[in-house]
């Protein structure tokens, strides 16, 4: 039987924001009923709502709360704009590079560089991809990730892949992978193999589901410590080789955040960069 709301749900974005903020404040007894903490302006309300969503632990929510959140996030996604892979031109052989916010991409699978808990970034308003993915997917994603970790009985190892729904993202699925973290300035053969495994595991997961497109934001950059060109060579080389080995592999889109990385990936995909091999030895 379809769920019937206990009362009429809010219809405007402002009403939805305030509804959700008050709900999350009520969940946190420290702020319950304290409307004075809610900013009066839209930007401030958006930041407060996102902050509460970022720190909320993985737990169920009522159908009413989910309906309001989903309506809010879907309208917000419309305002932010969506880019479909079909609107882009490949650099070469079904491989693309694109600069922008990965959570606005309409693809079959969006890769998330996760941490071993799979639970997302709990730092309010942090600008990492993990935070963005969990913010714009909605609170259901953290709950599904928690169920995966609970079911397998351990944290997610490096170089594997777990698939979840995309929820309110334009991407149909999210593929979560934990990248290696460098212990020195240059990657060891094992760390290189682990990063290679991340890309292969994600491609395996997408291919196994019959998906036709996958988007890769950087893996093992930032806190992972991999140098830009080394990480890019591993990414492009691994995906290119995988696609050559599997006729049914999805098209791959590499997401970048700077003009320098955009040029780097374009050159690597087009085979315009010479020097060190695209993928270092992968033996463990």
CATH code of the domain containing 214 = 3.40.220.10
Q: In this model, does residue 34 exceed pLDDT 80?
A: no
Q: Quick one: 63 and 103 in the same domain?
A: no
Position 196 in a domain: yes
Q: Quick one: 62 and 91 in the same domain?
A: no
Q: Point out the domain boundary residue: 52, 80, 108.
A: 80
Q: Quick one: 218 and 120 in the same domain?
A: yes
What average pLDDT does this structure show over 127-153?
97
Position 284 in a domain: no
Buried b (16+ CB within 10 A) or exposed e, 78-100: eeeeebebeeeeebeebbbbbee
Q: Quick one: 185 and 47 in the same domain?
A: no
Q: Quick one: 144 and 203 in the same domain?
A: yes
| Contact (CB, 8 A) for 110 and 102 | yes
What average pLDDT does this structure show over 206-213?
98
Position 50 in a domain: yes
Confidence of residue 284 (pLDDT cuts 50, 70, 90): very low
Report pLDDT for 78. 96
Report pLDDT for 7. 66
Q: Quick one: 192 and 66 in the same domain?
A: no
Q: In this model, does residue 276 exceed pLDDT 50?
A: no
Q: Quick one: 20 and 138 in the same domain?
A: no
- Stated pTM of the model: 0.92
Q: Quick one: 67 and 208 in the same domain?
A: no
Q: Quick one: 99 and 87 in the same domain?
A: yes
Position 8 in a domain: no
Residue-averaged pLDDT of the chain: 92
Q: Quick one: 63 and 95 in the same domain?
A: no
Q: In this model, does residue 283 exceed pLDDT 90?
A: no
Segment 72-95, tens digit of pLDDT: 999 999 999 999 999 999 999 999
What average pLDDT does this structure show over 97-119?
98
Report pLDDT for 6. 54
| Total domains, the chain | 2
Q: Which domain holds residue 33?
A: 13-80
Q: Quick one: 179 and 40 in the same domain?
A: no
Segment 38-67, tens digit of pLDDT: 999 999 999 999 999 999 999 999 999 999
Q: Quick one: 153 and 179 in the same domain?
A: yes
């Amino acid at each position: 039987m379809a769920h019937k709301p206990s009362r009429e749900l809010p219809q405007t974005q402002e009403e939805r924001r305030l509804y959700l903020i008050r709900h999350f404040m009520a969940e946190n007894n420290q702020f319950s009923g304290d409307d004075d903490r809610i900013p009066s302006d839209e930007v401030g309300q958006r930041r407060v709502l996102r902050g509460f969503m970022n720190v909320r632990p993985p737990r169920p929510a009522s159908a009413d709360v989910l309906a309001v959140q989903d309506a809010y996030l879907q309208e917000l996604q419309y305002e932010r704009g969506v880019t479909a892979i079909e609107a882009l031109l490949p650099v070469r052989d079904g491989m693309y590079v694109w600069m922008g916010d990965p959570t606005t991409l309409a693809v079959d699978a969006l890769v998330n560089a996760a941490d071993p808990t799979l639970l997302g970034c709990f730092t309010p308003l942090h600008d990492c991809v993990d935070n963005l993915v969990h913010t714009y997917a909605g609170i259901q994603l953290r709950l599904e990730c928690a169920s995966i970790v609970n079911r397998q009985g351990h944290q997610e190892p490096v170089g594997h892949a777990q698939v979840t729904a995309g929820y309110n993202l334009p991407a149909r699925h999210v593929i979560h992978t934990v990248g290696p973290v460098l212990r020195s300035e240059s990657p060891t053969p094992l760390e290189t193999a682990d990063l290679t495994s991340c890309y292969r595991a994600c491609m395996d997961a997408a291919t196994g589901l019959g998906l036709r497109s996958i988007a890769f934001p950087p893996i093992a950059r930032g806190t992972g410590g991999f140098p830009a060109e080394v990480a890019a060579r591993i990414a492009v080389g691994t995906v290119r080789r995988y696609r050559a080995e599997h006729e049914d592999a999805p098209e791959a889109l590499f997401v970048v955040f700077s003009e320098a990385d955009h040029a780097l990936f374009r050159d690597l995909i087009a085979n315009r960069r010479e020097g060190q091999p695209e993928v270092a030895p992968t033996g463990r």
